[in-house]
Amino acid sequence: MTENIINVIEENKIIAICRGTYGEELFQLVSALEKGGVKLVEVTFDQGDPDCLSKTSTAIAKLSQKFNDSMVIGAGTVVTLEQVETAYQAGAKYIISPNTNPAIIKRTKELGMVSMPGAMTPTEILAAHEAGADFVKVFPVGALGLGYVKDIRGPINHVKLIATAGVTPDNLKDYLAAGFSGSGISGYLTNKKFIQSKQFDVLTEHAKELMQIVEKFKAENK
């Protein structure tokens, strides 16, 4: 199962980050993304919300049930073992964190989920990899800049990296060309303004745009 999810991530490359959206709005959002060709959705734990365990696990469970095989749902901003366990029970297929915590990586793998911790420096990236991470989320990639990530790809070309925070339609191809396995994208795919105004068709078009960039890149690099 884990290998299948890894393949889906490497094939589709775009993970939509859903933060602070629940209930019917989340269903409509994920439906819009699905229409646009996005197959990976991360539902985050809001660490500032005391009810985040319940809200996020309920959202993951309902999305997993509703979209079944058409979308692969994971949990994001996972920073405690309790959140790992809760996400697993809800049906999450992968665990994404903003940091590298070997205990979280270990438990994620024990439960048969894909591990994607966050890291910034070469030391952190290799520590995450050596702890068993399937992918390492370079975060915040936009603040670090493309030059930085190109430099670290030289000696660290054996680790599967995901670019997160700052990836846009204008630079997505550059990150893929730099050797990233994919990208986590929030605002462009999950903009609250469009969600609140029910302009889900706009988000479908944004999803299509990003997936077209992915497909073009793959065709050019067969």
| pLDDT in single tens digits along all 222 residues of the chain | 799 999 999 999 999 999 999 999 999 999 999 999 999 999 999 999 889 999 999 999 999 999 988 999 999 999 999 999 999 999 999 999 999 999 999 999 999 999 999 999 999 999 999 999 999 999 999 999 999 998 999 899 999 999 999 999 999 999 999 999 999 999 999 999 999 999 999 999 999 999 999 999 999 998
Q: Record the tokens describing residue 30, joined without a space.
A: 């994920």
pLDDT, residue 119, reads 97
pLDDT, residue 222, reads 82
CATH number at residue 164: 3.20.20.70
pTM check: above 0.75: yes
Q: Per the structure, how many domains does the chain have?
A: 1
- Is residue 143 in a domain? yes
Please provide the DSSP assignment of 174-209 as one string: HHHHTT-SEEEE-HHHH-HHHHHTT-HHHHHHHHHH
The pLDDT tens digits of the residues spanning 17-35 come to: 999 999 999 999 999 999 9
What whole-number distance in Å separates Cα of residue 175 and Cα of residue 151?
12
- Is residue 222 in a domain? no
- Is residue 183 in a domain? yes
Find the angle CA(117)-CA(4)-CA(128) to the nearest 5 degrees.
20
Contact 172, 1 (CB under 8 A): no
What's the domain range around 103? 2-215
- Cα–Cα distances in angstroms (integers) from residue 78 to residues 52, 139, 177, in the given order: 11, 14, 28
Q: Which residues are catalytic?
A: 42, 137
